[in-house]
């Protein structure tokens, strides 16, 4: 029941946050922050009673009894649909990341949201609940349900509290993710039907569907349905076009959740479902997937270099950085997969922080245009120092988590295809160029007299505490990544054993 409680706390907390607005306009954000922290503390307290999490045994993918947690209750037995949730090392990392970044997102919305604060915080908590469901659901019907649930409150967050073109961005986000989700639903139903023909029983359970016998052609098409759904959310080139608009128009908290959490659901889906359910088809498709990843790294970096909008630049940088995840997954060896998991976590912190900085600048300057900035470090030294740290993290400075992630991906990829590794490595050079350009145009150079007359306000205590949490996380991942690698390694080892 631990996993069910984690989701219920957020769902009920959303209702409490919405109702609490009648007691004061500032109460919803306090309630939302309290709910997320309660959920995080509840998770950690339950884990503290378990054995050393860095010494986990490798779970057998088809045996739920070997997983860290497993819960199953009948729901629609006539069709083999159940409420089935499970946790292993990777999903535990993603659940923890979700709750930590959820608290950071609430902090990001502290002064940014002016209207209907209760409803905003409710949507934020409901989005987090949907994401937790995605990371824990192992009944594919339930997984699809949570996959759709997390989209609806995010749509409202963009459409109601977004910026000037929020309606267009929200609709584009919803259409892309909804259409790709329907492709996944068709693939799920077809997979269940194929499994029923082979076994005589209806089941949507991940554990029952692993190893379903099917023809090579059927496996290819079903795998493609899952693949498209997940790379749209990742996003990977050329399915990424919804991302810059959604990020640019979303409120700061929405951008934090999108970049830090929602993109990771796509990467998680590839590791958990797209490859293990269709191992031969996925390996046959691996070079196409890796080519898309390498293309996304270069393409995203080039477009990021051409942006003058602070948030849009960071959005395109996400396309580039998530290309490393796609490369790591389809290189499908232990080093590359470890790098992909590390990138999911490190990118969550570094990009969420950059979007918080972008939101803070827009709130103070009423613009996102880099051409109207300059010399901001002189007036906001704390923000400037923090921005420099996360820019260096994003470009892959050794000693920080992003470097470890990208280095592991390239090392694993080199064992598969040295030439593709060389192409992907060019993205690191381009990343350094656009990241330092972002810093130069915004915080260095000559100050804009119009902005200095506005009485610029530096980061306060709340914002600095939030940033320090993410800074410590990236430093820890960069200097001593072993605990994270130890949690992921048994799961990755077991997944590698089910593929050819």
Place of tokens 């050329």: 238
- pLDDT confidence of residue 363: 84
- pLDDT confidence of residue 57: 60
C-alpha 481/C-alpha 361 separation (Å) is 32
DSSP 86: E
C-alpha 451/C-alpha 379 separation (Å) is 10
pLDDT by residue for the chain (500 residues), tens only, comes to 889 999 999 999 999 999 988 887 888 999 999 999 999 999 988 887 665 554 456 676 667 777 888 898 989 888 889 999 999 889 999 999 999 999 999 998 888 877 888 899 999 999 999 999 999 999 999 999 999 989 899 999 999 988 888 889 999 998 998 888 999 999 999 999 999 998 888 999 998 898 888 888 999 999 999 999 999 988 888 888 898 889 888 898 989 998 889 999 999 999 999 999 999 999 999 999 999 999 999 999 999 988 888 889 999 998 999 999 999 999 989 999 999 999 999 999 999 999 999 988 888 888 888 888 888 888 888 999 999 999 999 888 899 999 999 999 999 999 999 999 999 998 888 888 888 888 988 888 777 777 766 668 888 888 899 999 999 999 999 999 998 998 888 888 888 887 76
Q: How many residues does the chain have?
A: 500
Contact 262, 355 (CB under 8 A): no
SS3 353: helix
Angle at 132 between CA 127 and CA 135, to 5 degrees: 130
Give 437's contacts (C-beta < 8 A, 6+ positions apart): 305
Contact 471, 389 (CB under 8 A): yes
Angle at 346 between CA 487 and CA 7, to 5 degrees: 65
- pLDDT confidence of residue 53: 55
Phi-psi category of residue 367: left, alpha or beta, with phi > 0 → left and psi -120 to 50 → alpha: beta
Number of other residues whose CB lies within 10 A of the CB of residue 440? 13
Cβ-defined contacts of 65-72 (< 8 Å, 24+): 68/92, 69/2, 69/3, 71/1, 71/2, 71/3, 71/4, 72/205
- pLDDT confidence of residue 277: 92
Task: Give burial (CB, 10 Å; 0-12/13-18/19+) of 358.
Answer: buried
Helices (H), 366-417: 376-379, 381-394, 401-414
The two three-digit tokens of residue 436, written as one number: 């330092």
C-alpha 143/C-alpha 137 separation (Å) is 5
CA-nearest of 285, 273, 394 to 331 is 285
Q: C-alpha distances in angstroms, 191 versus 90, 196, 220, 273?
A: 24, 9, 11, 12
C-alpha 255/C-alpha 154 separation (Å) is 10
SS3 49: coil
Q: Residue ranges per domain, the chain? A: 285-500
The two three-digit tokens of residue 64, written as one number: 């739920």
- pLDDT confidence of residue 346: 94
C-alpha 134/C-alpha 50 separation (Å) is 23
Dihedral sign from CA coordinates of 171, 176, 177, 179 = positive
* CA 23 to mean position of chain CA atoms: 34
SS3 399: coil
pTM for the complete prediction? 0.93
């Amino acid at each position: 029941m631990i996993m069910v409680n984690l989701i219920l706390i957020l769902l009920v907390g959303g209702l409490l946050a919405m109702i609490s607005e009648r007691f004061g306009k500032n109460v919803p954000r306090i309630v939302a922050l309290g709910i997320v922290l309660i959920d995080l503390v509840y998770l950690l307290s339950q884990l503290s009673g378990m054995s050393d999490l860095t010494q986990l045994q490798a779970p057998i993918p088809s045996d739920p009894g070997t997983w860290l947690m497993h819960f199953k209750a009948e729901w629609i037995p006539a069709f083999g649909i159940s409420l089935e949730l499970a946790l292993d090392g990777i999903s535990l990392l993603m659940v923890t990341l979700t709750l930590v970044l959820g608290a950071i997102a609430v902090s990001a919305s502290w002064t940014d949201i002016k209207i209907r604060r209760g409803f905003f915080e409710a949507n934020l908590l409901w989005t987090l609940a949907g994401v937790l469901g995605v990371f824990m659901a192992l009944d594919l019907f339930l997984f699809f349900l949570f996959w759709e649930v997390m989209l609806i409150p995010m749509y409202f967050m963009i459409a109601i509290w977004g910026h000037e073109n929020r309606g267009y961005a929200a609709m584009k986000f919803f259409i892309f993710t909804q259409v790709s989700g329907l492709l996944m639903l068709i693939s799920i139903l077809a997979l269940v039907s194929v499994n029923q023909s082979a076994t005589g029983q209806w089941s949507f359970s991940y554990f029952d569907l692993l190893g379903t016998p099917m023809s090579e052609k059927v496996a290819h098409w079903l795998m493609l349905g899952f693949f498209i759904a997940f790379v749209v959310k990742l996003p990977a080139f050329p399915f990424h076009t919804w991302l810059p608009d959604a990020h640019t128009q979303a409120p700061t908290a929405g951008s934090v959740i999108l970049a830090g959490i929602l993109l990771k659901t796509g990467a998680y889906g590839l590791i958990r479902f797209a490859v293990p359910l269709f191992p031969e088809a996925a390996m046959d498709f691996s070079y196409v997937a890796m080519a898309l990843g390498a293309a996304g790294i270069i393409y995203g970096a080039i477009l990021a270099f051409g942006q003058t909008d602070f948030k849009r630049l960071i959005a395109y940088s996400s396309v580039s950085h998530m290309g490393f995840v796609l490369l790591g997954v389809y290189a499908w060896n232990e080093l590359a997969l470890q790098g992909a998991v590390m990138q999911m976590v490190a990118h969550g912190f570094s990009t969420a922080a950059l979007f918080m900085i972008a939101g803070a600048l827009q709130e103070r300057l009423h613009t996102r245009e880099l051409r109207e900035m300059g010399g901001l470090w002189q007036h906001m030294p704390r923000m400037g120092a923090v921005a420099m740290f996360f820019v260096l993290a994003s470009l892959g400075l050794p000693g920080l988590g992003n470097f470890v992630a990208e280095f592991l991906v390239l090392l694993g990829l080199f064992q598969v295809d040295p030439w593709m590794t060389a192409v992907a490595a060019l993205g690191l050079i381009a990343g350094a160029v656009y990241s330092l350009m972002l810093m130069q145009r915004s915080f260095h150079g000559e100050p804009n007299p119009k902005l200095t007359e506005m009485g610029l306000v530096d980061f306060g205590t709340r914002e600095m505490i939030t940033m320090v949490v993410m800074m410590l996380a990236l430093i820890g991942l960069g200097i001593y990544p072993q605990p994270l690698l130890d949690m992921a390694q048994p799961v990755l080892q077991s997944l590698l054993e089910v593929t050819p």
